[in-house]
């Protein structure tokens, strides 16, 4: 390639790279300010392991589920994992 073609190719690649970096920064800004949700890589499971077993009495099962939800809701854990996986 001649010098002019190399210069034009270099400028095009530089501009394309800056556009990609700008889009990534804009997307990160929207996620971190709460305007947009991070991509859903992980989903909240439909059933917990206690719901699948019938050996645990229903009252005990309900009590355990309520205590677990009070400590840390499952949706918060899933949201945190999605945010971490998106930021890497």
The stretch 13-21 carries a mean pLDDT of 97
* Residue 45, in any domain of the structure: no
* Per-residue model confidence (pLDDT) at position 32: 81
The answer for residues whose C-beta is within 8 angstroms of residue 40's C-beta and 6 or more apart is 82
Tell me the average pLDDT across 16-27.
Answer: 94
Q: What are phi and psi of 35, to 5 degrees?
A: -75, -20
Whether residue 76 lies inside any domain: the answer is: yes
Statement to judge: residues 32 and 61 lie in one domain: no
How far is residue 33's CA from residue 28's CA, in Å, rounded to a whole number? 8
Same domain, 1 and 31: yes
* Any domain includes 88: yes
What pTM value is reported for the model?
Answer: 0.53
Structural domain includes residue 24: yes
Angle, alpha carbons 82-25-8 (nearest 5°):
135
Q: Domain tally for the chain?
A: 2
Say yes or no: 32 and 4 in one domain: yes
For 26-79, how does the pLDDT look when each residue is reduced to its tens digit (9 = 90+)? 988 898 888 988 777 777 766 555 455 555 567 777 787 777 777 777 777 787
Question: If you average pLDDT over residues 3-23, what whole number do you get?
Answer: 96
Structural domain that includes position 20: 1-36
Question: Among 70, 71, 69, 61, which residue's Cα sits nearest to residue 44?
Answer: 69
């Amino acid at each position: 390639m001649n010098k002019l073609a190399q210069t034009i190719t270099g400028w095009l690649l530089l501009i394309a790279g800056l556009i990609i970096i700008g889009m990534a920064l804009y997307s990160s800004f929207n996620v971190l300010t709460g305007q947009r949700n991070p991509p859903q890589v992980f989903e909240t499971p439909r059933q917990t392991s206690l719901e699948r077993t019938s050996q645990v009495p229903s009252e005990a099962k309900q009590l355990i589920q309520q205590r677990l939800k009070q400590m840390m809701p499952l949706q918060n854990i899933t949201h945190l994992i999605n945010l971490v996986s998106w930021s890497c």
